[in-house]
Structure 1
């Protein structure tokens, strides 16, 4: 299996960024000489049942070093039955709960071990690589001699009665708990081991075994050669590019054409190494072009993995299955895209491969490339895929992300701009949970993405299923540059979520409820790393920095007060109450802080950020703010419960379902919050009355100006029309006097 590919295909970060934002200071396993040939893929297999081998205190400490981060809900890990979901590129283990597979955490691999491992005397085992973990498990039995076997491969002498293992390392005996020892998986049987390593290791002894039968130094083949050794030798020569030897073997042993050596055929080996002459010879000899290895990979997969575009084109011209899938549902295009082999991608797209194929995670090739570093090759591949006429941008992976959501989640502004240019209609598409691209970018602090979306006229007031706006999500994550850019673009600072918590509630409450993960979440303290990152980001905020300058000295470093004052300056209601009847002031225990906020609110309530006001402040200034039906009047009506705004008051009368989400409208309110739920008949009657009243006040002659002059007969016209009249225009009586009417 091309697991070095498939492992890197699926390194998606969680929807909400809960891990530490600090640099990874943890131990890099690849930099340790004794451990460089051991990777986590050889310690754990997918779906292995595992357990935590340390206490919660050490668990939290190590996780906070950026091995996936720490979340308070991870305290449930020791109580649950957990299994391996996958291995990350860094070697950490992504685990899932057996009782609820939707809950997944990334955990440092050496905090885990498999349950009920069976050991036998004489076996080799790997000792846990982390000294802190070993000290924690050994407790009082630790001494400095154990440093010698940390991360080393030792041989089991015997199994002790208490379950511990007696190990031998450099002729010295050590007693070690079995939870600190790992059985190393056979790379040939290990589904997680890379194809390249398998291919190299699988045939290294084949030639020596085959020489015993005299084949290497003879032009004739001896009769007693066993089939396995011939297959090994044949695959080895295909891999090395020895065309004459390949021909010589096939002349005498035709059956080895499609035989496998450690799961790989000669065609697959030659495709990986790019030996085009051997590939053509094998195809002309009748090799099965779509034969798969143990993991479902075909010769075309191998050619893409080895970056052999000429071989790729040759295979396609010989009718290789262009969209074949391996056991992980990865197509050759997935492999070429993930490895950023641009020439292979060019050939595959040229021959109209399916660019919408989804792998076992629901990811298309474009999903995969979005999370990669944007090299020149990656950008060229992205252009190939986006410009594919068959590209379906509505396809979502198993986490509900389409390609536009994925780009905004990963902070890839290059893909975001390209998609907006080609498919502008994707900008406000929401996931099943209500999250849009704007929500994802705000939650994860991607400022460049926000700028792209604002430039494309994104709807700032879209709501998640929990009634959260992008601004509320940014506030909950202390993403201050995002808060500023949204507020400066007139996001509603008084928007509230399902608990009627406004931004002021969220920033004032020292204990924030993680509303982004579970409906009934328990309170979780904001992490110190998040606060430190927030303080650093304040330097990027021009308008928030201006607020800091106006604050008393004791509040210049209080980020909660800083943002609270900034929101108040931009119109936030200090006294707004949530569903628990609490205002933001109720979260501040310090009376002096309350006093400061009240003073700012009182002073600024009548003078909201005058420096930003203009003659057009608050006015609708672009086409997107006009009614989507008549395209004339400004948008003034909000539909409930979806909170979408798209029409004027006149057009809203005829609408039963929201134009954006197509949900049934239960209530309509205007800008002042007045309920507009009245029937069409009632509205028509009211409109008729208003019309009659207006007509009664109009001059009956010009039908333009208001009546303001009356005659002695009682009939009335405007002053302009009265001047030439000699007789009343209604009763024809001679006009004796003209009386002006003045309003109070």
Structure 2
């Protein structure tokens, strides 16, 4: 278990944008690199249930909405200042703004988003170079993660247009698109995928969080049908397997008795006979959960009723005498695993 934790920490370190402020400052002054936060020691413990609200900077930071406004006033770059920025000659005030990080690892942009100040956030997005936009705080949240969680669609749009990375993962392994899929932030998901080609979006859609879930899995688990449609249009792999048991989104929908998702996935070409690591198909799961409606839909879509899992069971073996489900299987006076299936009429 300890080795698993070490591997997770290594993955976190690999996926964290390392001190973008430091790299930017080194460009400005070529001075010695500093750490983002004096007390940084890796990801914090997961917040208790019901306390998903971002990080300790929210509500506890000494920087208020009013002080944010005061800090930002006069710092929006004019055309002349933009030219200076391009030549690495910023004023001291602008440099201080760029290089400010709280003990929680938040930049002033993180804080503006946490305070849901869209106007200041947009100004900072225009002011900051891309390296700063991608800085992750001590919870490995980028500004894009926070803007998505808070459903600040216009801020998400501004960040994406400025080139903020979609591939960064937070301490749970979630990208910002994972967050949108989990919480049903359809407009944010739309902005993150609008102008990106399928080839560039594919790695993001295939990224699994630390629970082995890709974006489509989270959308299915949370019955986010609009986002599932969006991901389908963006050519997401409908048959991608989650990392723990090999379930596809269709398996998850069958488990949840979510016939809407089942119909949606089948209509877009999901593999009706996809097998989990243990050999179970969506039909195995539907029958095992006594869901005749979904089992019927899967059979109508061509599900193979004779496929066996690693326990050498067909879906019929799991019917457990349910007449509605037994009626789906085309057997006449045949015994399966010692049980009689008699006179089924079609």
TM over 0.5, shorter chain: yes
Query: Which residue pairs with 2:59 in the alignment?
Result: 197
Measured in 1, the distance between the counterparts of 2:211 and 2:291 equals: 24
Give how far 1:194 is off.
4.3
Measured in 1, the distance between the counterparts of 2:264 and 2:94 equals: 55
SS in 2 for 1:575: strand
- Residue 301 (1) aligns with residue 110 (2): yes
Measured in 2, the distance between the counterparts of 1:471 and 1:285 equals: 60
What does 1:15-414 align with in structure 2 at a 5 Å threshold? 86-89=47-50, 194-199=56-61, 239=64, 241=66, 269-270=67-68, 276-277=72-73, 284=93, 286-320=95-129, 321-373=132-184, 378-389=185-196, 390-391=200-201, 392-414=204-226
SS in 1 for 2:229: helix
Please give the per-residue CA displacement for 1:584-631, whole angstroms capped at 9, x wherever unaligned: x3xxxxxxxxxxxx4xx3322xxx51xxxxxxxxxxxxxxxxxxxxxx
Please give the per-residue CA displacement for 1:39-91, whole angstroms capped at 9, x wherever unaligned: xxxxxxx76xxxxxxxxxxxxxxxxxxxxxxxxxxxxxxxxxxxxx5411279
Per the alignment, do residues 383 and 504 of structure 1 end up closer, same or farther by CA in structure 2, a change over 3 Å counting?
Answer: same
Per the alignment, do residues 283 and 317 of structure 1 end up closer, same or farther by CA in structure 2, a change over 3 Å counting?
Answer: farther
The structure richer in helix per residue is 2
Give how far 1:297 is off.
0.9
SS in 2 for 1:325: coil
What does 1:576-595 align with in structure 2 at a 5 Å threshold? 576-577=336-337, 583=338, 585=339
Please give the per-residue CA displacement for 1:351-370, whole angstroms capped at 9, x wherever unaligned: 01111211111111111011
Larger mean Cα displacement after TM superposition, 390-399 or 341-350? 390-399
Give how far 1:309 is off.
3.2
Give how far 1:473 is off.
1.2
TM-score (norm 1): 0.35
Please give the per-residue CA displacement for 1:550-573, whole angstroms capped at 9, x wherever unaligned: xxxxxxxxxx533443344x4498
Query: Which residue pairs with 2:297 in the alignment?
Result: 485
In the alignment, is the contact (CA less than 8 A) between 2:145 and 2:175 conserved in 1?
yes
Measured in 1, the distance between the counterparts of 2:229 and 2:65 equals: 45
In the alignment, is the contact (CA less than 8 A) between 1:494 and 1:503 conserved in 2?
yes
In the alignment, is the contact (CA less than 8 A) between 1:270 and 1:279 conserved in 2?
no
Give how far 1:450 is off.
1.0
Per the alignment, do residues 341 and 575 of structure 1 end up closer, same or farther by CA in structure 2, a change over 3 Å counting?
Answer: same
SS in 2 for 1:284: helix
In the alignment, is the contact (CA less than 8 A) between 2:97 and 2:108 conserved in 1?
no
In structure 1, the gaps of 5 or more residues are 1-45, 48-84, 92-190, 203-234, 242-268, 509-559, 578-582, 586-597, 610-744
Query: Which residue pairs with 1:602 in the alignment?
Result: 342
Give how far 1:435 is off.
1.8
Computing the radius of gyration from Cα coordinates, the structure with the larger value is 1
Measured in 1, the distance between the counterparts of 2:278 and 2:308 equals: 10
Give how far 1:295 is off.
1.4
Give how far 1:474 is off.
1.7
SS in 2 for 1:87: coil
TM-score (norm 2): 0.71
Per the alignment, do residues 575 and 332 of structure 1 end up closer, same or farther by CA in structure 2, a change over 3 Å counting?
Answer: same
Give how far 1:192 is off.
8.6
The structure richer in strand per residue is 1
Per the alignment, do residues 290 and 284 of structure 1 end up closer, same or farther by CA in structure 2, a change over 3 Å counting?
Answer: closer
Count of residue correspondences: 282
Query: Which residue pairs with 2:322 in the alignment?
Result: 561
SS in 1 for 2:121: helix
SS in 1 for 2:159: helix
Per the alignment, do residues 491 and 328 of structure 1 end up closer, same or farther by CA in structure 2, a change over 3 Å counting?
Answer: same
Measured in 2, the distance between the counterparts of 1:368 and 1:240 equals: 25
Report the RMSD for the aligned CA atoms in angstroms. Answer: 3.0
Measured in 1, the distance between the counterparts of 2:333 and 2:278 equals: 21
Measured in 1, the distance between the counterparts of 2:180 and 2:332 equals: 41
Please give the per-residue CA displacement for 1:670-710, whole angstroms capped at 9, x wherever unaligned: xxxxxxxxxxxxxxxxxxxxxxxxxxxxxxxxxxxxxxxxx
SS in 1 for 2:296: helix
What does 1:703-742 align with in structure 2 at a 5 Å threshold? none
Measured in 1, the distance between the counterparts of 2:230 and 2:110 equals: 29
Query: Which residue pairs with 2:233 in the alignment?
Result: 421
Measured in 2, the distance between the counterparts of 1:192 and 1:311 equals: 19
